């Protein structure tokens, strides 16, 4: 191998060695965060679904043929507007202003009893429905503030409030009143929900990324020490210090 090739191979080897060392150092590098005192809002997190306040589903009590249909799917309807007529000459009308979101029958078709023929929803007045596990449901109360965010509208948070909480078929459902939703939000869309269940002021805040199985590494006066701690209320970033020798100005270890 001539001198030029040896030089190129050697240079490549040195570059690889430098890069390997850099990434090794980075992977083992640790950061420190300072302990501060402040306020902490604890929340219950869940996925909510937009629901219409008013919804109507038309079903027949006996089998009947559809003589005439006066509306189309997606059409806006007004209260009292004719929807369809059956073979007995009975005309069914809309009970409120809304939008025909489903139409499951055609003219001259025989509709069986109990099957939904059409559905009308009020798209302008909606609420948020959330299903919670038992532990979370026990912490939710009417009047609590809820923050709502939509994946397609990131950066914007909308406020609501817990209206009621109740059991339904083995689930614990929360109804959230949301009057500040942006234009275009429709029933069946989903939203990330954070219900504020408690608030703590002037507490020592412990970064959760620094806690490992109830222990934390503290730096104070140039000394490093591993401590056991106990935290109470938490949010997505911090926990409230209940027990442990931590104070403002201490630093804690966070491994990257």
Question: For 86-112, how does the pLDDT look when each residue is reduced to its tens digit (9 = 90+)?
Answer: 999 999 999 999 999 999 999 999 999
How confident is the model at residue 28, as a pLDDT? Answer: 42
How confident is the model at residue 137, as a pLDDT? Answer: 95
Q: Edge-to-edge, what's the strand order for the sheet holding 116-121?
A: 55-59, 116-121, 98-103, 76-77
The two structure tokens encoding residue 162:
């817990």
β-pair type (145-149, 158-168): antiparallel
Question: For 176-220, how does the pLDDT look when each residue is reduced to its tens digit (9 = 90+)?
Answer: 999 788 888 999 999 999 999 988 888 888 888 889 888 999 999
Q: Edge-to-edge, what's the strand order for the sheet holding 30-34?
A: 30-34, 251-255, 215-220, 223-228
* CA atoms in the 13 A half-sphere facing the CB of 95: 10
How confident is the model at residue 3, as a pLDDT? Answer: 60
How confident is the model at residue 115, as a pLDDT? Answer: 95
CATH of 31-41+201-255, one of 1.20.1050.10, 2.60.40.10, 2.40.420.20, 1.20.1250.20: 2.40.420.20
| Domain 55-121 fold | OB fold (Dihydrolipoamide Acetyltransferase, E2P) (2.40.50)
Inter-CA distances, 215 with 12, 45, 227, 252, 253, Å: 44, 25, 5, 11, 11
How confident is the model at residue 61, as a pLDDT? Answer: 94
Question: For 118-148, how does the pLDDT look when each residue is reduced to its tens digit (9 = 90+)?
Answer: 999 999 999 999 999 999 999 999 999 999 9
Does pLDDT of 29 surpass 50? Answer: no
Name the DSSP letter for residue 158. E
Predicted TM-score (pTM) of this structure: 0.70
Count CB-CB contacts under 10 A for residue 43. Answer: 22
Instruction: Kindly state the average pLDDT of the residues 231-251.
Output: 85
Backbone angles phi, psi at 13, to 5 degrees: -60, -40
The label of the residue with tokens 């029958």 reads 105
Q: What CATH number does the domain located at 44-52+124-199 have?
A: 2.40.30.170
Domain boundaries, the chain: 31-41+201-255, 44-52+124-199, 55-121
Does pLDDT of 8 surpass 80? Answer: no
Most confident of 31-35, 77-81, 251-255: 77-81
């Amino acid at each position: 191998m001539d001198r030029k090739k040896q030089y190129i191979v050697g240079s490549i080897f040195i570059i690889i060695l430098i890069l390997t060392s850099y990434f090794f150092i980075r992977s083992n590098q640790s950061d420190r965060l300072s302990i501060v005192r402040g306020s902490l809002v604890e929340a219950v997190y869940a996925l909510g679904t937009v629901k219409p306040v008013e919804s109507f589903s038309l079903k027949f009590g006996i089998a009947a043929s559809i003589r005439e249909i006066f509306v189309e799917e997606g059409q806006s309807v007004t209260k009292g507007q004719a929807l369809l007529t059956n073979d007995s000459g009975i005309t069914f009308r809309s009970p409120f202003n809304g939008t025909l979101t489903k139409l499951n029958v055609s003219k001259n078709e025989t509709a069986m009893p109990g099957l939904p023929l059409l559905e009308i929803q009020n798209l302008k007045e909606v609420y948020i429905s959330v299903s919670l596990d038992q532990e979370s449901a026990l912490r939710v109360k009417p009047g609590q503030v809820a923050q709502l965010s939509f994946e397609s509208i990131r950066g914007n948070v909308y406020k609501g409030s817990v209206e009621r909480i109740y059991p339904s078929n083995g689930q614990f459902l929360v109804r959230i009143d949301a009057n500040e939703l942006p234009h275009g939000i429709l029933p069946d869309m989903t939203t990330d929900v954070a219900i504020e269940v408690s608030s703590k002021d002037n507490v020592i805040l412990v970064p959760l990324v620094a806690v490992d199985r109830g222990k934390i590494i503290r730096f104070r006066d140039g000394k490093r020490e591993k401590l056991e701690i106990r935290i109470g209320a938490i949010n997505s970033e911090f926990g409230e210090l209940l027990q442990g020798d931590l104070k403002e100005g201490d630093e804690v270890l966070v491994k990257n």
